[in-house]
């Protein structure tokens, strides 16, 4: 088995720093379905994407521990990469449903439904400094998203995400959680997560949420 791995960082800041690393196999069909979970675990990214059909945007998303029906930074990153290599799509097709996608300036956007997201405990803290001081989730919390306002008027928040349930000690930038909190607060947000990743959101039509961010390509390498 030989495949080509693209390594991206999704939701980088305006200077191209930070972001959540993502592995993408554009030739995902070269890796048998039975072996994909092991590949994702070996790579160790919070998510790895296997593109099964670039023409229709059909993808599968795996954490090191399990497959997800939808996830935010894999969707944004995959749609950006398909456009970058000359195979743009208007929508991705994930197990959860159809995910419209488009570009605005230097950001790539997707539209998703909050009910697609795996269970996340969203907890508001009093200050951003409290969020930054955390060293992990409380006992028993396996999918925990603490956040606090940085500037309520502008919709700026500080957040982190701890997910031992899906074999992620701490996620650098979590698009799925951004979709959930945007739907819950009912407003557009600018989210600073992890070390300094940046996620943009706004309410979409019919109960959806639009999620956008910047993406950079770090490397292309053979795998297998």
Mean pLDDT, to the nearest integer, of 66-92? 97
CATH class (in words) of the domain with range 116-210? alpha beta
Domain residue ranges of the chain, discontinuous segments joined by +: 3-109+213-223, 116-210
pLDDT of residue 30: 92
- φ/ψ of 154, rounded to 5, equals -90, -5
Question: Which positions ≥6 away from 86 have C-beta within 8 Å?
Answer: none
Quick one: pLDDT band at residue 167, thresholds 50, 70, 90? confident
Q: Hey, do 3-109+213-223 and 116-210 end up sharing a CATH topology, with the first three levels equal?
A: yes
Quick one: pLDDT band at residue 193, thresholds 50, 70, 90? very high
pLDDT of residue 164: 87
Domain 3-109+213-223 has CATH 3.10.310.10: yes
Cα gap 209→199, rounded to integer Å: 12
Quick one: pLDDT band at residue 131, thresholds 50, 70, 90? very high
Over the stretch 16-64, which tens digit does the pLDDT of each residue have?
999 999 999 999 999 999 999 999 999 999 999 999 999 999 999 999 9
Say how far residue 145 (Cα) sits from the centre of its chain.
Answer: 14
110 with 72: CB under 8 angstroms? yes
pLDDT of residue 127: 98
């Amino acid at each position: 088995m030989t495949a080509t791995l693209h390594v991206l960082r999704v939701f980088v800041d305006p200077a191209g720093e930070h972001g959540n690393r993502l592995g993408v196999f554009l030739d995902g069909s070269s890796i048998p379905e039975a072996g994909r979970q092991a590949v994702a675990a070996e790579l160790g990214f919070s998510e790895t994407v296997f593109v099964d059909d670039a023409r229709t945007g059909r993808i599968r998303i795996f954490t090191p521990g399990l497959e997800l029906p939808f996830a935010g930074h894999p969707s944004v990153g995959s749609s950006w990469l398909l456009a970058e290599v000359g195979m743009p799509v208007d929508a991705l097709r994930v197990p959860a449903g159809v995910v419209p996608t488009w570009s605005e300036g230097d950001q790539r956007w997707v539209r998703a439904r909050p009910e697609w997201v795996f269970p996340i405990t969203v907890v508001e803290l009093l200050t951003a400094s409290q969020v930054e001081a955390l060293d992990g989730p409380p006992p028993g919390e396996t999918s925990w998203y603490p956040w606090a306002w940085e500037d309520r008027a502008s919709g700026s928040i500080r957040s982190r995400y701890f997910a031992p349930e899906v074999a992620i000690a701490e996620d650098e930038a979590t698009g799925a959680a951004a979709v959930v909190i945007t739907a819950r607060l009912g407003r557009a947000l600018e989210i600073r997560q992890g070390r300094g990743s940046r996620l943009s959101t706004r309410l979409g039509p019919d109960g959806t949420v639009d999620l956008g961010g910047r993406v950079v390509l770090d490397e292309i390498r053979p795998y297998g």
